Each structure stands twice: as C-alpha cells, then as structure tokens.
Chain A
C-alpha cells in the first residue's frame, strides 16, 4: 500500500513550521517520529496535501530541568527520555513509562509529542502526562496556550489541538514528595500495544500515606485520573498489604470488567514496589 501523493516540507525553524501549519490548516500533517503517521499515510487513512516534517526544526528536542519542573521538547525521542540522567533523577516514572513503549527500534524514532498527539487511550505517555499533571504548550502562528494534560485528550485519537496548532513542549512539575510506580499489561504477541497502563504515586510521612496520585490508560476513551483510588489511600500505612487493602475499598471510576480487573492487578503490583 502506498500513500496518496503529498508535498514534503522540512522547515528548520519553528516560525516557518507554524506558518505552514497556519496556511494549510487541516490539509497539513506534522511529522514527528513517524511511528503512527507513516503507517496511516500508507494505509491512505490520512491524506494530507503537505507533510510538515519537524525533524529538522531547531529547538524542539531536549530536556531542561529546573528546581520546580522538567521541560521536555516535543521532538525528544523516547530513547532519550528513558535514558536521560536528568529525567531519570527528577522524574524516574516518566523514564520508566517511556521505556515501556513498543520496542527499542520504535523508541529510537518515536517522540514524546508524537505519542501525546496520537492520543491512543491505552498508551503509556498520555497516562503518564495525566498522572504527573503535565502542562502542554501548544503554539500557533502568533501565539501559544498552555493546556493541562487532563484537558488535552478528548477521546480515542482526538485532542484539543486546533488546525494550525503544534505541541512544542511538555512541562512536567517536579513532585519529589510523591513516589511513583508504573505498570502495564501489553497485549500478548508482537504488536506490543498496551491493553492497560497504570501509574500510582504516594506521599508518605512517618510511614503513613498523606497523599496519592493515580492514573490509568486503557480503561476509558482517554487516559484518566482515578479519584477513587486517590481518596482511598491516604491514612494507610505504606506497606504492600495495607495499600492493597486500601485499593480494595476504592470505588471503580470507570466500566467494570476485564480491563478493570487488569487495572486493579497492576495497581496492586505497583504497591508492592512502593513499600
């Protein structure tokens, strides 16, 4: 299968890229790592007039860590994200989630921005962005807005991105008080696609949980926070048994069934590591 013919433009500066996106609107498709867009082009499910190749745009990739946050360029490859010493030190769970995506050869090309904008509801990084309260910087010609991750995703493979807008940077607040764990169940077989992913973080004082953060992918049309779980854990001792007991009382925040059972299993496995 071959794509419908398209123009390929590879700007080197962001302004030129934003100009192109503004001019061509829905007829333009931004190309990041290409791990989702290229198959969609080949399947002729996406038929842009122009592919705006972001791989040569200066300044879109890289990691900057400040006292309060980690700023990650949208074109940062997942291989970089998972192994970047500053990310591993400041936000180890983000590195772990990145390392769980697909296979190494995919992660060598795939980018953080591409994964978020593709918005697979079961994917690792959208769930991580929601769990970590990431803020997404969306730029367009002549302006920008910042959208919380929880508001960015609107459904399976849909987001609030407007025609002409480009995700350029992901800002993740540092939360040193929260200790996070990550777990996922990938579908068996070679596709590597996750069925359910889970992130759970707890803040502990004197051996007792004082705050919790939980999010999941694969249980709803978008990645979701799990308020029932977040409410059930504070006050529990930070032992695997006690956290499990807390989870057991947590209300289901989404449809029950196999995926819920998988999610509960993943959360319980995370708590074993948080002890």
Chain B
C-alpha cells in the first residue's frame, strides 16, 4: 500500500521555471547551427491535377540544395498507413506523392536551401502547374447530387459509415410513441489547435550507420517513429524520434503529417541535418484541424420527463482525405451521445464525408465536446418545451451510483462516480442572473461524462484499431541513489512530468526531488502508440508506475534486509524530507544497524546482497499496464452570460466547474487542465472558426487576425472544484482530465444564452455564437434592441 505524501499536493510544475525564463527547448531552440532549411511547396488551389513540376530555375539558384517533387517522392517513399478505419472504409492511407491535390495547402514537394528565407525565395522559382478541378467546400456540397468526386475509393464522397447503439428501426419505434420529440440540426465548426509552438522538426541522417534521428514537436514520438520507418522504408531500429519541450498539442501532433515525412526524406537524401518549423500561416491552413460536423439529432421524452430515446445522425467533414484519427472523433460522438443519462434506446449514426478542405483529426475532446453540445442543448430544449426546470429534468434521468457499473446503449461501461452530486454542486453555485438595459443575462448548468484512460488492448482490438492501448514505465534506482522514471507518455505542457514524479516518490517512499522523469525519446522511453492523448497519460502511466514502484520498493527492502542481516519485516526506510539521495541520514534501519540508501543502491548495482539463485541485478522495474477497462470521469459546468441585444455580443461573466477525476495527483496541474480547457471551449463557443471560401474552398483564416484566440478579457475567473470517486480500473484510482475542461463549455454557454434570451433558444444549435450570428437570430426573433432606441 502506497502512503500518500506527495500525491494530492499542489506541487508547482517542475518545468515552469525554465519555460518562464526562456530556457525551453522547443524545436526552434535546439542548437543545430549546421541545419539546412526547408520550405514546403503547397497546392495553391483546393482541388486540381498537378500537370507540371519544373525545378530548373530553382536548382540554378546557388542557395538551393535540394528540390523534391511528386516524382521523387513517389520513387522514394510509401504512403502513411492508417490505423483506424470505418467498417467499409477503402481510403486506408495518406498519399505522399501527389498527382491530384485535394486541399489548398496540401504539400506537393519541398525545397531545401541554406536558410529559411532563401528556401522561400527558391520555392517561388519552382514552376508547379495545377489544372484546377471543381472543389467542394462543405459536406452539403460534397453530398449534393452531381458533386465532383474526390476519390475513386469514396463513392458519393462518403468515406465510410457506421452505427452504434440501438438499431435504427427500434429507435424509430421509440420516437413514434413519445410524448415529446425535440429534433434539431447542430453545426460544429472546424477549429485550429493553434498550439503556441507550431509543428516542426530537425531531421538528421547519418549515412554511415544509416540512422535517422528526428527532433520533433510531437505528442506521440513512437507513433511518428513507426510511421516514418514505414514511409521511408527504414528498419524500426534505425529511426529515433525525440520530443523535448512541446509547446502544446491538443491532438494536432498525434501522428506524422505528410510534410513532416517529406522533411525527413530530404534529410535522408541530403545527409546531415534538415530543419523545418511550420509558420503560423501553414499551421492555420495546412496542419490537420479539429471538429467539423453537421448532426441531426432528436430526443424523445415521456410526459413525466423520463428520457425515452436519443439519436444523433452525424455527418462529419473529414476534409481532403482520412488521416490517423480522421473518423475517430465522429465515432466517439456517436458512442458518447448518451452522456450521464439513462436511455432505454439510444444510438449514433456516422457518415464520414470527404471535402476539399484541410483534413481533420484529433482535437481535445475528441467527439465528446460535440456529443455534449448536441445532447445538452436537446435536453435544455426539452425542458423549455415541457416547461420544467432543466436541472430537475437532468436529475430525473441521471445514472445513479447504485447503477454502476452501467452499460450504455452504445456499449460503454461507466465504472464509478456520482453524476447527480456533481450537477447539484454546480447548480448550487451558479448565481441567479440579473438583466439590465440592453443586456440580458442568463445562466445554465450541464453535465457530461469523459472517456479516459483509453484503452484495454482487447477493446482496441475489438474496434479493429491498429494501436497499442497499454502503457509502460521503467523505474530505475541509479547507483548513486537517484531515481529515474522513463515512460512512454509525453510532456506537452500539461504537467505530467511533475505528477509522475509525485507518484514515484510516494511509491518508493523517497523525497520528490530524488526523482527525475525522462519522456519523449524513443531510444529510452518504453513503447507507446497513443502516449499523451485521450486523457490517458496519468491514468495508465501512473498505474504502471505505482506497480513498478511497489515492486522496486519490495526488492530494495529485501536487499537491505540481507545487507543488514535481519528479517525483511524488521527493515525500516528512514528518509528525512529534505535530504539528498546521497545523504548518510537516508537509511534503512534494522536491529543490527543501518545502511544508507545510496550505499545500498551502489551495492545492488554490483550484484551484492541478492538472494541465492536470483539472476536479476539491475535496480529497475519494467511494468506494462494494460487497463482492465476504460475509466469514465464526469463533471458538471455552469456558466453565467450577458447578451447585449443591441450588438449580439455574448460575454461569459462567470464560470463554474465540478469534476470527478478520481484521485487527484496534483491539484495545481488539474486546475491548469480545467481552466485551459474552459478557455479553449469559450473560444470554440464564441468566435474560433476556420473559414474557407464557399466556392473555391480556399482558406480565409490564414492569420490570428482572422482566427482570434481567447484573450484574458474573454475568460472569466473559473471556479474549479473536484469530487473524488476513485476509479476501480487502475491501481491509483485515477481518472483522466486532459479534455474534461474543454468538453462542456460550448454546451453550457449556449444553454446560458438560451436562458438569457429564450426567444432565440431554438436556433442556438451551432457554434461559434459570434456577435453577427447572435444579432441576426435576435432580429429574426423580433428583438429590436434597446427600447430607448426605438420607442421615441
């Protein structure tokens, strides 16, 4: 049993001082003065055939070191294989060698030159001819009769379909009998991850041994390594990927992008170091995006307020082609549509559609932000139509602790938690709003369930996903007594390195600063395909680490007993809180005397004191943790908003969160995750939107001027609270919270706007709720602005 000393303490994240003092090691900071620089050649149009690629003029420039075009790429690479397909999906790879471009910004080739500015100059000299083809800029356009067909493998531009939960005919029956059916069409826009650090890499090829080392801004170095090996036709053991500090990822750095593969190809062709750091325009127009779906959904309610059925018909915009996580979020929207409520019948249907927009992949919330928005808006609309309190309606239908484990209609198994308690806690704290003048105020609370700790290997196999779901750690007590944690999960700014140190320190019973955490280098990190995504890093690596620490502690105590020649049960580890690992005060005590921690570690690495016949010497433990189940976190959010009916401006004035994430390892890290997620959610709710020209499908959001991110004035103080129901699905009782803060804000803010202005509640079914759109809805509803303005 682990004694909790550091687990639960708000330990300041250990990397913050370096980051705040400008000592971060992001890709652009890495000291590679000899690196040559890449400019990526990108398609200027959204759909077209590459008819010519002439680099004669470019190669004549003395600063030009290499030009790669589609023919070179075709000769030297294989496509990127996809890991997760829909049942009938035939698009199963990402093409690197491009003869038909399918989005504006798609990489066609690249230029390497002496510096970045030179590379951009030389890139302008490459004569790329693209014969334009008609483009589709939305799923509606892609599905329209006679729409241009994007792929031979996608008839009618449908990449694949699936259905989860109650069969559709049974759903239809349930709706036919209901007292009330609320049906709406929901729109969730495309968003950009907009990490502080854009993508980037330095690739180095050593021709002698044939080794490729890639320093990348990625959240999944092992996945990138495997994909690179496949694409570049290299042995797995000849590719190493290293992620140092990563300036945010949010799902945008989970897999290898085509342009990143081309940069590594350039290094292999040229030898030595090649560097590319994405600029902001590239990040906004060429990096994979998030969300993007139109969903028709309906909720059936009995006269007494019981929920009878729920169905979401999700039409998702995959963009130009399917990528690693392409249809994943759409599937998760369908799987999680029920949220925290009981339904006799519920299901989600997914149609994945290709368009001539940037491909869409994982984004924080991964389909759950979408399902929460759809469901919570429907529930609020049902309450409005029934004339009942929306909180009471929710409580009436909630899965209760006594129902656990609870299996949803879509087959998810909720493990633990008190969903009603979270909602009640949030509802109690939401202050009643007051309206004045042209400003109307309203508040609302919503509830959600967050899938975390993804996932048991058997479940992943059942879904036919070619990823490993387990996590591994290697915990080492070094010969000098210091402690090192190697884990497959990655640090992307969330604070995982601090949380893992806390777990290791408690597991071994040593001070926190004895523990160093090393992540992100495939040469030393245990294998991990998914690493830090899907709210899983702490849950799974933490679980593995607790087991490793318990085993290592037992071994160390056994060694100490033999060194002291006393029974194991009589050995006590006595470490004052402030001492170093080499201190003579850090000792194992037995009746016969003491031996210091450091001395014991030193002897252990010499092979001394081990029981006769035991071959294991190294003072380290490798543990793989394959969870028995997904664990579900849950929570409730409350928002108070002001709606200026003159201008349509929505201001979030107060925000409250209640989450149950099981055992919290570091409340400070948890608060950072929640508040950051809420800020991101406010951006999605109110103004973030990647826009494209509806005719040409070319990007309109190319800088932060057209794609505003939340600023301090847009985000109120967030009141963060936690409940604790330990998870039964892992040794630490942990539940994930990497996405929990980002999932409910759009739903909560939209419900609060609906409470403020019930006249427009029915049409609050799409985000972002910009001033222009809210104003148009207000005018449509006959709300004409300030009375002072119109009455006289």
What residues make up the interface of A, taking CB atoms closer than 8 Å to B?
Answer: 1-5, 39, 43-44, 185, 187-193, 195, 241, 244-245, 247-248, 258, 261-262, 264-265, 268
Q: Which residues of chain B are within 8 angstroms of A268 by Cβ–Cβ distance?
A: 646, 786, 788-789
Q: A3-B117, A44-B120, A262-B771 are in contact. Are A190 and B646 (CB under 8 A)?
A: no
15 other A-B residue contacts (CB within 8 Å) besides A4-B117, A193-B705, A264-B785: A1-B281, A2-B116, A2-B120, A39-B703, A187-B708, A189-B686, A244-B788, A244-B792, A248-B788, A248-B789, A258-B772, A261-B785, A265-B438, A265-B785, A265-B786
Find chain A residues with CB under 8 A from B775 CB. Answer: 258, 261
Chain B residue numbers with a CB within 8 Å of A241 are 788
Q: Is the CB of B646 within 8 A of A189?
A: no
Shortest C-beta distance, B172 to chain A (Å), equals 41
Please name all residues of chain B whose beta carbon is closer than 8 Å to the beta carbon of A248 when the two chains form the complex: 788-790, 792
When chains A and B are docked, how far (Å) is the Cα of A63 from the Cα of B559? 80
Interface-lining segment among B253-261, B494-502, B709-717: B709-717
B710 touches A189 (CB 8 A): yes
- Chain B window 763-776, contacts with chain A (Cβ cutoff 8 Å), 1 for yes, 0 for no: 00000001110011
Contacts of B279 in A (CB 8 A): 1
Given A187-B708, A189-B714, A258-B776, decide whether A264 and B646 contact each other with a Cβ distance below 8 A: yes
Give the residues in chain B near A244, CB-CB below 8 Å.
Answer: 788-789, 792
Q: Which residues of A contact B647 (CB under 8 A)?
A: 185, 258, 261-262, 265
Check A265 against B711 for contact (C-beta < 8 Å): no
Q: Which of B117, B704, B705, B708 contacts A188 (CB 8 A)?
A: B708
For the complex, what is the distance from the CA of A43 to the CA of B775, rounded to whole Å? 34
B281 near A43 (CB under 8 angstroms)? Answer: yes
Contacts of A193 in B (CB 8 A): 705
- B644 to A265, Cβ gap below 8 A? yes
Identify the interface centre among B683, B686, B710, B792: most chain A CB within 10 Å of its CB: B792
**A4 and B121 contact, CB distance less than 8 A:** yes
In the complex with contacts A265-B786, A268-B789, A189-B688 CB distance below 8 A = yes
* A-B contact number at CB 8 A: 88
B649 at the interface (CB under 8 A from A): yes
Contact assessment for B711 and A192 in the assembled complex, using a CB-CB cutoff below 8 Å: yes
**A185: contacting residue among B116, B121, B649, B786, CB under 8 A:** B649
Q: Within 8 Å of chain A (Cβ to Cβ): is B648? A: yes
Question: Which residues of the other chain, A, contact B710 by a CB distance below 8 angstroms?
Answer: 189-190
> Which residues of B line the A interface, CB within 8 A?
116-117, 120-121, 279-281, 438, 644, 646-649, 683, 686-688, 703-705, 708-711, 714, 770-772, 775-776, 785-786, 788-790, 792
> Could you show 21 A-B contacts with beta carbons less than 8 Å apart?
A1-B120, A2-B116, A3-B117, A4-B121, A187-B687, A188-B686, A189-B683, A189-B686, A189-B688, A189-B708, A189-B711, A191-B704, A241-B788, A258-B647, A261-B646, A261-B775, A262-B646, A265-B644, A265-B647, A268-B646, A268-B789
Q: Are A188 and B687 in contact (CB under 8 A)?
A: yes
Q: In the docked arrangement, what's the CA distance between A124 and B115, Å?
A: 39
User: Looking at A44, A193, A262, which has the most chain B CB atoms within 10 Å of its CB?
Assistant: A262
Chain A residues, Cβ within 8 Å of B792: 244-245, 248
A249 to B, closest residue via Cβ: B792
Whether A189 and B709, one on each chain, are in contact in the complex, defined by CB atoms closer than 8 angstroms, is yes
B648–A191 touching, CB < 8 Å: no
Which of the residues A44, A187, A245, A265 comes within 8 Å of B646, measured between beta carbons? A265
Residues of A within 8 A of B648 (CB): 258, 261
CB neighbours (8 Å) of B788 from chain A are 241, 244-245, 248, 268
Tell me, in angstroms, the Cα distance from A2 to B708 when the chains sit together.
22
Contact A190 B709 (CB under 8 A): yes
A272 nearest CB across to chain B (Å) = 10
**Most A CB atoms within 10 A — which of B647, B705, B714, B792?**
B647
A residues in contact with B776, CB < 8 Å: 258
The complex places the Cα of A3 from the Cα of B704 at a distance, in Å, of: 18
Q: Kindly list chain B residues whose C-beta atoms are within 8 Å of the C-beta of A191.
A: 704-705, 708
- Distance in angstroms from B283 CB to nearest chain A CB is 11
B646: chain A residues within 8 A (beta carbon): 261-262, 264-265, 268
For the complex, give the distance between the alpha carbons of A191 and B687 in Å: 11
Chain B residues with Cβ under 8 A from A39's Cβ?
A: 703
**Which residues does chain B contribute within 8 Å of A44, judged by CB atoms?**
120
Nearest neighbor of B646 in chain A, beta-carbon distance: A265
Across-interface contacts of B120 in A (CB, < 8 A): 1-2, 44
Docked-complex contact B789 and A188, CB < 8 angstroms: no
Report the minimum CB–CB distance from A224 to chain B (whole Å).
19
> Closest 8 CB pairs between A and B?
A189-B708, A265-B646, A2-B117, A190-B711, A245-B792, A1-B279, A191-B708, A189-B687
Chain B residues closer than 8 Å to A189, beta-carbon distance: 683, 686-688, 708-711, 714
- Enumerate chain A residues within 8 angstroms of B771, measured Cβ to Cβ: 185, 188, 195, 258, 262
- B648 nearest CB neighbor, chain A only: A258
B197 → chain A closest CB, angstroms: 16
Q: Which residues of A contact B714 (CB under 8 A)?
A: 188-190
Q: Residue among A1, A192, A245, A261 with the most chain B CB within 10 A? A: A261
Chain B: CB-nearest residue to A266:
B647
Is the CB–CB distance between A188 and B281 below 8 Å? Answer: no
Chain A residues positioned under 8 Å from B688 (CB to CB): 189
| Residues from chain A with Cβ under 8 Å of B708 in the complex | 187-191
Determine the distance from Cα of A112 to Cα of B646 in the docked complex, in whole angstroms.
Answer: 31
CB distance from B779 to the nearest CB of A (A): 8
Q: B279's closest neighbor in chain A, by CB?
A: A1
Residue from B646, B648, B687 having most chain A Cβ neighbours under 10 A: B646
Interface centre among B116, B120, B686 (most CB of A within 10 A): B120
User: Least Cβ distance of B189 to chain A in Å?
Assistant: 14
Instruction: List chain A residues, Cβ under 8 A from B281.
Output: 1, 43
The interface residues of chain B lying within 8 Å CB-to-CB of A262 are 646-647, 771
A247 to B775, CA, bound (A): 20
Q: Which residues of B contact A185 (CB under 8 A)?
A: 647, 649, 771
In the assembled complex, the Cα of A53 lies from the Cα of B279 at a distance in Å of 26
Across the interface, name the chain B residue whose C-beta is closest to A247. Answer: B789
What is the CA–CA distance of A25 and B711 in the complex, to the nearest angstrom? 40
Query: For A5, A190, A193, A268, which residue has the most chain B Cβ atoms within 10 angstroms?
Result: A190
Complex: how many Å from CA A185 to CA B774? 15
Q: How far is the CA of A28 from the CA of B786 in the complex (A)?
A: 50
Question: For the complex, what is the distance from the CA of A85 to the CA of B111, rounded to whole Å?
Answer: 54
Nearest residue in A to B711 (C-beta to C-beta)?
A190
Cα–Cα, bound, A190→B707 (Å): 9
| Complex CA distance for A263 and B647, rounded to whole angstroms | 9
Which of B688, B711, B770 has most chain A Cβ within 10 Å? B711
Residues of B within 8 Å of A3, CB to CB, are 117
* Min CB gap A113→B, angstroms: 21
When distances are taken between beta carbons in the complex, the residues of chain A under 8 Å from B117 are 2-5
Chain B residues closer than 8 Å to A192, beta-carbon distance: 711
A188 to B683, CA, bound (A): 9
State A3–B688 Cα separation when bound (angstroms).
28
B63 CB → nearest A CB, Å = 11
In angstroms, Cα B646 to Cα A241, docked, is 17
Q: CB within 8 A of A264: which of B703, B711, B789?
A: B789
Complex: A110 Cα to B786 Cα, angstroms: 36
**Chain B residues closer than 8 Å to A1, beta-carbon distance:** 120, 279-281
Bound: A185/B279 CA distance, A: 30
Q: Which residue of B has the minimal Cβ distance to A187?
A: B708
Residues of A near B644 (CB, < 8 A) are 265
How far is B770's CA from A150's CA once the two chains are assembled, in angstroms? 32
Residues of the A chain whose Cβ atoms lie less than 8 Å from the Cβ of B786: 265, 268
**Least Cβ–Cβ distance between A275 and chain B, in angstroms:** 13
Within the assembled complex, what's the spacing in Å between the Cα atoms of A126 and B772?
24
Instruction: State the Cβ distance, B436 to closest chain A Cβ, in Å.
Output: 13
In whole angstroms, what is the CA distance A188 to B117 when docked? 34
Give, as a whole number of angstroms, the nearest-CB distance from A123 to chain B. 13
Chain A residue with minimal CB distance to B688? A189
Distance of A267 from chain B, by nearest CB (Å): 10
Query: Residue of B at shortest CB range from A42?
Result: B279
Question: What residues of B have a CB within 8 angstroms of the CB of A187 in the complex?
Answer: 687, 708
- Roughly how many angstroms separate A138 CA and B775 CA in the complex, as a whole number? 41
